[in-house]
Chains A and B, each alone.
Chain A
């Protein structure tokens, strides 16, 4: 059975920047996973760096393009403009500071959430922290905004309900969990006696590449593994 996982650009970037994108192939072969991206993610991660000749990011772009050509990552287009706009409007009108709504997400991000809805994909590989918090714990995001800006943040309950009805059923996995799971399934087997060390190093590499995982989380997982 093929299971689809929708990916955001951040997770693909974390994986390619850390040279761990082979984990996508590993799961495609061993667990029948199909990694799906919308055209906007392909544009951000492949076309824009390649067409703009952005040297620093060319190699990541080529690796993702290769995965697309190999059919491990599949670009899926769907008409989700209206749904994407609804999600974006709800998210961007949910929290208010001093009477003004805070713009939290942009269309590319809401488009991905809308695509999940449209395709009936329940699992998202998502490294981007704000969108993840909107799905998993919007009030944690509110507390965070209050702490950062040192003000009270007001909640528009209608927008909150509207957003929750559309995205709260989604399950989010970060690229770090994908690599942890890959380790459990033998992805690091070639490292023989250094498998645990390789996993830990890989997780730190991903963290430094921008994957939203904390040092504590890495330590906790490594403690369980060790």
Chain B
């Protein structure tokens, strides 16, 4: 479904698929599902940028589509290890596309991983598990999370007054 949506350049569908796979990944912590979540997000970003869909990028896009086809063909029978290897190839081909018109220090796949990790953390999975699943530094996830409203969406059990009372007593008592 992800490959089809990409070939149809359907960004909305890719984002919907990303939401679905991400929800599944948070619950089962599977690396294959995690990669599907990351790449569905990355592919949706590629589809949304006209510069990646220009004629000059045609060969790089074709290379990506070939890897995507191989992933689709092997999805039911391959081991997780083989699939993860194919996702590595997809990452390399996306890197090839980005190199044609490099604009950011952080590459698309890392950005995708950051978003996924911050989403896991926002959902209630710890920072450590989110970092472990994505292979990212906690600091990167914290920076991304800090730019979101995740800490405003969950009402704290204790008020700031109560917290300060405890802090005063414990730290300077």
Query: Which residues on A are within 8 Å of B, measured CB to CB?
Result: 3, 5, 9-10, 13-14, 17, 27, 31, 33, 44, 48-49, 54, 56-57, 60, 97-98, 100, 102-106, 108-109, 122-123, 127-131, 133, 136-137, 140-141, 144-145, 148-149, 171, 173-174, 177-178, 180-181, 184-185, 207-217, 220-221, 224
Contacts and interface: CB of A to CB of B under 8 A. Distances in A.
Contact of A103 (B29, B139, B158): B29
A31 B172 contact: yes
Given A13-B139, A33-B171, A173 B156 contact: no
Contacts of A217: 156, 160
Contact of B137 (A57, A106, A136, A141): A57
Given A211-B146, A216-B152, A105 B163 contact: no
Nearest to A98: B27
A209 B164 contact: no
Nearest to A141: B124
A185 B172 contact: yes
A137 B23 CA distance: 23
A217 B154 CA distance: 12
Nearest to A130: B126
Given A102-B27, A103-B125, 18 more contacts: A31-B172, A54-B137, A56-B140, A97-B27, A109-B127, A122-B170, A123-B170, A137-B157, A145-B123, A149-B27, A173-B163, A180-B164, A181-B168, A210-B141, A210-B143, A212-B151, A213-B151, A221-B164
A171 B170 contact: yes
| Chain A residues touching B, majority SS | helix
A6 to B, nearest CB: 12
B18 to A, nearest CB: 15
B28 interface: yes
A10 to B, nearest CB: 6
A131 B126 contact: yes
Interface string B118-152: 00011111111100100001111111011100011
A173 B171 CA distance: 9
B150 to A, nearest CB: 8
